[in-house]
Amino acid sequence: MTFELTDYGLEEDHVELARMVRAFADEQVAPVAYEADRTKTLPMDIVAQMGDLGLFGLPFPDEHGGQGGDYLALCLAIEALARVDQSIAITLEAGVSLGAMPIHRFGTDAQKAELLPDLLAGRALAGFGLTEPDAGSDAGATRTTATLDGGEWVINGAKQFITNSGTPITRFVTVTAVTGRDGDRKEISTIIVPSGTPGFTVEPAYDKVGWHASDTHPLTFDGARVPEANLLGERGRGFANFLHILDEGRIAIAALSTGAAEGCLDAAIEHAKTRTVFGEVLSQRQAIQFMIARMQLRVHNARLAWHHAARLRDEGRPFKGAAAIAKLTASDAAMDNARDATQIFGGNGFMNEFPVARHYRDSKILEIGEGTSEVQLLVIARELGLAG
């Protein structure tokens, strides 16, 4: 048996949303996924359709064009997309969690009014520049600087692995930068840098192992100047604010991972039921049955974990530990299911035209991005009161 959407205690509107996005994924995304992966091109028509469906505005109030939903709704959409194409799923996840959410959480009224309507409608995308060649979770290693000069921030430095930073509709990137010092401690703030700003260069896209259709670039800043009013949130709170965004993002990545794990499960079941080896249908072999049963176990546990974390978040309760558990559980499930599905497919599993091959390549980053598996273990340990 497989579990249905209605088995997870979802409200009817959540079930309808998930079914709608699953249908969209199957009918519109899946048919173009291979070609988008092969050509390493983000299909902007698919992004536009997601905007038309209201997916980018799901967890935002209607004040600036949001759908008035919750984080659970967003994650249901991300999971549904990831079943067929992780690149499209991460485009939505990053567009919301790293593009629009910082503006919604920490922006001024003027910043929200100017930037949110297009972001929530999918007419624009934005990136968030935290990671640097020598800095990521280690805020103290941040080297990008922003210095005030005549009412403008002058930004110098470099960022890497920045999603949605170079698409035709990328409106801006938000970057963390050292804006001063408090004794020996760096003061890190967050600044909005519009696309096309002189001195801001979006470097050529990466040649990645997976997520080929996702837009990802390194960024350089060489005397890029933006108005002082482009400070996002309180000065000196840039890294702390990002950590809050990161906790939410881990739930979304867990949902994406669950979708990937389920996509592998579905493909493995279909293949095992139709593939004949030595005169016997593959699914009749107990070794294959046990392998697929474990795949189902992983999907179920991963979904329970991220649903729990999302509900805690939506109820305004502490969710840092639950988000870390969900992200770790689900990313492990995605990678393990991709490996097993590829094995079940045999030689075909090594061919990129088959979704399981793309999931195999794509899923590794799920154990790295939004905090590595080791970071999740560290967060869980600290939530248990263990020193470190």
Picking from 380, 97, 378, the residue whose alpha carbon sits closest to that of residue 255 is 97
Same domain for 51 and 147, yes or no, is no
Average pLDDT over residues 280-294: 92
pLDDT-derived band at 183, boundaries 50, 70, 90: confident
Measured distance CA(118)–CA(100) in Å, rounded: 10
Same domain for 170 and 201, yes or no, is yes
pLDDT at 137: 65
Q: What is the CATH number of the domain that holds 81?
A: 1.10.540.10
Same domain for 219 and 352, yes or no, is no
Last residue of a domain, one of 189, 222, 237: 237
Q: How would DSSP label each residue in 69-104?
A: --HHHHHHHHHHHHTT-HHHHHHHHHIIIIIIHHHH
Give SS3 for 209: coil
pLDDT-derived band at 243, boundaries 50, 70, 90: confident
Instruction: Kindly state whether residue 388 falls inside one of the protein's structural domains.
Output: no
Same domain for 119 and 142, yes or no, is no
Same domain for 341 and 313, yes or no, is yes
Measured distance CA(172)–CA(192) in Å, rounded: 7
Q: How would DSSP label each residue in 238-301?
A: HHHHHHHHHHHHHHHHHHHHHHHHHHHHHHHHHHHHH-EETTEEGGGSHHHHHHHHHHHHHHHH
Q: Which domain holds residue 101?
A: 5-125
Last residue of a domain, one of 209, 237, 265: 237
Same domain for 86 and 147, yes or no, is no
Measured distance CA(386)–CA(198) in Å, rounded: 47
Burial of 226 (0-12, 13-18, 19+ CB in 10 A): buried
Same domain for 256 and 364, yes or no, is yes
pLDDT at 206: 96
Residue 1 has pLDDT above 60, yes or no: no
Side chain identity at residue 317, one-letter code = R
First to last CA, the chain: 43
Residue with tokens 């922003």: 146
Same domain for 297 and 197, yes or no, is no
Instruction: Kindly state whether residue 161 falls inside one of the protein's structural domains.
Output: yes
Give the whole-number percent of the chain exceeding pLDDT 70: 98
Quote the number of domains for the chain.
3
pLDDT at 139: 63
Beta strands at 170-182 and 125-129: parallel, antiparallel or unpaired: parallel
Instruction: Kindly state whether residue 130 falls inside one of the protein's structural domains.
Output: yes
pLDDT-derived band at 286, boundaries 50, 70, 90: very high
Residue 91 has pLDDT above 80, yes or no: yes
Q: What is the CATH number of the domain that holds 333?
A: 1.20.140.10
> What positions carry a catalytic annotation?
370
Residue 154 has pLDDT above 90, yes or no: yes
pLDDT at 214: 98
Last residue of a domain, one of 207, 237, 267: 237
Same domain for 269 and 198, yes or no, is no
pLDDT per residue over 198-242, tens digit each? 999 999 999 999 999 999 999 999 999 999 999 999 999 988 888
**DSSP 8-state secondary structure symbol assigned to residue 316:** T
For the chain, the average pLDDT equals 94
Same domain for 28 and 105, yes or no, is yes
Same domain for 82 and 140, yes or no, is no
Instruction: Kindly state whether residue 78 falls inside one of the protein's structural domains.
Output: yes
How large is the greatest C-alpha to C-alpha distance in the chain, in angstroms? 79
Measured distance CA(72)–CA(319) in Å, rounded: 13
